[in-house]
Amino acid sequence: MPGVKSAASAMLVPFGGSTWNDNVLLEGSDQDAGVVWLNYLGAGYFQTIGTPLLAGRDFDDRDTATSVKVAIVNQAFVRKILKGVDPLGKRFRIHEPPGKPRPLYEIVGVTGDNKFQDMHEEFLPFMYFPGTQQEKPGPDDQILIRSSLPLTSLMASLRETIAGVNPGIDLEFRVLKTRIHDSLLQDELMATLSGFFGFLAALLAAIGLYGVISYMVVQRTREIGIRMAIGAKRADVVRMILGEAGVLTVAGLVIGIGLALGAAQAAKSLLYGLKPRDPLTLVMAVILLSAVASLASFLPAHRASKLDPLTALRYE
């Protein structure tokens, strides 16, 4: 079909809400090697979803109902089930109830890891089987398509093509990008709320610092007057006030960074992509808060430098 780069069938699709897992037994062992996730696929699936084939081969015409049972595994399978051993040629069985056949599957390929249920999960160990070796194709098998066409044009073209084959087939279209976005809606809401409350906290901190410095200036009005009377310049007064405000700011930043690192570590599991110790984020936060603190401190410092020495000396 014009505009279609690749297409493949799959029993289960990423972020589709359904999964299938079972225990696996390596050849020569009766002990479960661990829980793995399974899926039946058509040739070209990995190219379609953009997952690289790292070793071995993809499914092809050699994989038929009567040929050797084969499987492709991901890197997580190699790490967790095979403990890093070269997987190509290794064989295994799927745990089945007594009386059910337990054929051997041979690993013919290795793919990269990808998320399947949601963006928060760790990479799960997956085994993929060719759809051509599926005993009974499922009624809900789906087709994944990678296309350069606009979505509306692709949908219209597919409807026309399918209707020409079987007008009775009902089609339902879903966009993988939309599914991923939907899975992150809660994260986006949490990030928005966190940003709002972070801004509110910075505003309250600025108001609080302004109040503290203003109170300090009022309490030291007489001292400021004496300093100015014996020759202190306005710039000296500003530097003195800003220096003392700087000490408060640095102390607050040190304590705040420690608390922020602890809170970010706790929130890591709540927000996808959050890096608790991202240096760029910490540096930007320190710069922003320092700028806010400087502005909040400068206003009372500037006001103190405008005091008339005689008036300040008479201040009680």
Q: What is the domain partition of the chain in residue ranges?
A: 4-182, 185-313
132-168 pLDDT tens trace: 888 776 667 788 888 877 878 877 887 887 777 777 7
pLDDT of residue 286: 81
* CA–CA separation, 176 and 173 (whole Å): 10
* CA–CA separation, 27 and 103 (whole Å): 11
* CA–CA separation, 25 and 33 (whole Å): 5
pLDDT of residue 266: 63
- Phi, psi (5° rounding) for residue 102? -130, 80
* CA–CA separation, 256 and 288 (whole Å): 13
Low-confidence ranges of the chain (pLDDT < 50): none
* CA–CA separation, 84 and 285 (whole Å): 41
Alpha-carbon separation of residue 53 from 61, 112, 131 (angstroms)? 17, 7, 18
Helices within 28-145 (DSSP H only): 45-49, 75-80
pLDDT of residue 137: 67
pLDDT of residue 109: 94
pLDDT of residue 125: 93
**Which DSSP state fits 264?**
H
pLDDT of residue 314: 60
pLDDT of residue 311: 63
